[in-house]
């Protein structure tokens, strides 16, 4: 499991227990297709009314479970915008460096403005940033959300877009909150420059749930989290995507062959195992003002969905999030001091 077992995820707000709403089947096969504007998802079975979900909080206030003695309780928030300048591509420099369209789906990028498949660490270190704090040149990126309303976006005939079955109108987040929090049992240490972390699995529909780490909800209902369904939110409520990253580091490596074993989730008691060290935990909260799709007779209209690899059928379980640390060393040290001293900083 590469340290990604579900036991240790619940204290990072990632508890998978009880989250399976039965959406791991193909959903919509009885329709004679997979649903969706390009007939590759999402299907009606991929949605659930948030009011039908039992409260099962995975993300308590400040992202931390009730604190025992000790621990690091501060927070550090960085404001990097909502990708107002539409900085997007279908590369992934972490898993497919040097490969154009390596992701086969579009990513939104905030923070570092030079992230593409061919960017070196030097390129990223010297890039412009959308963050208000110019000492944060980190790269934050996630698959875009689209509304499948029959319209096309500018990438309709392009790799990563229509050529890979990703169709519809790309929606910019209304909010993109980037917050780093502490560890329940210990102080945190600084992240090394160029540390890469991927949370979730873009291929979890076919790979299985070992590395899945999705969290869908609605504003006003964020004590109700679903992993393998998109939420149908009532009028006046917005869709929320939350990603809580691995927060234990092996103390040596900025990446690993499978991009996972150099970092880990905390154990059930909140501690890091195997001699790993606690680092600030990145929590990304994305809010989207999209209307709930209409579902009639097993058919879905005006669906929303995250971009995906073609064979993943736009399943909600495939949501994922990526981070590359390029904080200025002094700012990273400020973050660590803030978190360890219990302050809320930005």
The upper half-sphere exposure of residue 111, i.e. CA atoms within 13 Å in the direction of its Cβ, equals 27
Q: What pLDDT is recorded for position 33? A: 61
Query: What pLDDT does 35 receive?
Result: 84
Q: What is the tens place of the pLDDT at every residue in 84-122? A: 999 999 999 999 999 999 999 999 999 999 999 999 999
Model pLDDT, residue 56: 77
Q: Which of 215, 197, 170, 73 is nearest to 162 (CA)?
A: 170
Q: How many CB atoms lie within 10 A of CB 48?
A: 20
- Angstrom distances, CA of residue 128 to CA of 41, 132, 197, 201, 254: 36, 11, 21, 28, 22
Query: Is beta strand 196-200 parallel, antiparallel or unpaired with respect to 320-324?
Result: antiparallel
Q: What percent of the chain has pLDDT over 90?
A: 82
Residues whose CB falls within 8 Å of the CB of residue 12, separated by 6 or more in sequence, listed in order = 63, 244, 246, 247, 265, 266, 281
Return the structure tokens found at 58: 């995975």
Instruction: Tell me the whole-structure pTM to 2 decimals.
Output: 0.88
What would the mean pLDDT of 224-229 be, rounded to a whole number?
93
Q: Report whether 328 contacts 173 (CB < 8 A).
A: no
Q: Which residues lie below 8 Å from residue 41, measured CB to CB, with a gap of 6+?
A: 27, 28, 34, 35, 305, 308, 312, 313, 314, 315
For residue 333, pLDDT beyond 80: yes
With contact defined as beta carbons under 8 Å apart, do 229 and 23 qualify?
A: yes
180: nearest Cα among 190, 170, 172, 171: 190
Per-residue confidence (pLDDT) for residue 179, from 0 to 100:
98
pLDDT in tens, 8-60: 333 343 333 333 333 333 333 333 468 888 889 999 999 999 999 999 755 43
- What pLDDT is attached to residue 38? 86
Residue 36, pLDDT score? 85
Task: Name the 3-class secondary structure at 143.
Answer: strand
User: How much is the mean pLDDT over the chain?
Assistant: 89
Residue 202 above 60 pLDDT?
Answer: yes
For the chain, give every domain's residue range: 7-345
For the chain, the farthest-separated pair of C-alpha atoms sits apart, in whole angstroms, at 58
What is the distance between the alpha carbons of residues 335 and 346, in angstroms, rounded to a whole number?
A: 8
Structure confidence at residue 292 as a pLDDT band (50, 70, 90): very high
Q: What is the pLDDT of residue 68?
A: 45
Query: Using CA atoms, how far apart are residues 332 and 336, in angstroms rounded to an integer?
Result: 6
Q: What is the DSSP letter of 284?
A: E
Question: pLDDT (tens digit, 9 = 90+) per residue, 118-135?
Answer: 999 999 999 999 999 999
* 182-191: average pLDDT: 97
Tell me, what DSSP letter sits at residue 144?
A: P
- Token couple for 33: 């297709």
pLDDT digit string (tens) for 143-170?
999 999 999 999 999 999 999 999 999 9
């Amino acid at each position: 499991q590469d340290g990604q077992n579900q036991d240790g995820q619940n204290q990072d707000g990632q508890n998978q227990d009880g989250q399976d709403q039965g959406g791991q089947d193909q959903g919509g096969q009885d329709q004679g297709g997979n649903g969706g504007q390009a007939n590759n998802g999402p299907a009606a079975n991929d949605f659930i009314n948030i009011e039908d979900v039992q409260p099962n909080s995975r993300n308590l206030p400040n992202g931390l479970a009730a604190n025992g003695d000790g621990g690091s309780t501060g927070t550090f928030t960085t404001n990097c915008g909502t990708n107002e300048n539409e900085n997007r591509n279908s590369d992934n420099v972490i898993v497919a460096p040097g490969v154009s369209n390596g992701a086969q789906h579009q990513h939104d990028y905030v923070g570092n403005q030079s992230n593409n498949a061919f960017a070196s660490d030097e390129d990223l270190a010297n890039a412009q940033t959308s963050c208000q704090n110019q000492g944060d040149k980190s790269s934050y990126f996630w698959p875009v959300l689209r509304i499948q309303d029959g319209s096309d976006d500018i990438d309709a005939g392009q790799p990563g877009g229509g050529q890979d079955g990703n169709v519809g109108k790309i929606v910019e987040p209304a909010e993109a909150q980037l917050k780093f929090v502490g560890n329940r049992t210990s102080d945190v240490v600084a992240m090394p420059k160029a540390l890469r972390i991927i949370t979730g699995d873009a291929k979890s529909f076919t790979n299985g749930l070992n590395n899945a780490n999705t969290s869908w909800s609605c504003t006003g209902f964020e004590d109700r989290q679903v992993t393998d369904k998109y939420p149908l939110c009532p009028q006046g409520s917005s869709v929320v995507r939350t990603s809580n990253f691995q927060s234990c580091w092996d103390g040596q490596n900025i990446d690993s062959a499978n991009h996972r074993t150099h970092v880990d989730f905390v154990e059930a008691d909140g501690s890091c195992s195997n001699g790993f060290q606690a680092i600030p935990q990145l929590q990304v909260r994305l809010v989207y003002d999209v209307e709930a799709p209409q579902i009639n007779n097993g058919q879905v209209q005006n669906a929303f969905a995250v971009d995906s690899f073609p064979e993943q059928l736009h399943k909600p379980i495939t949501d994922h999030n990526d981070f590359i640390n390029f904080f200025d060393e002094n700012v990273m040290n400020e973050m660590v001091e803030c978190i360890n001293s219990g302050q809320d900083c930005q």
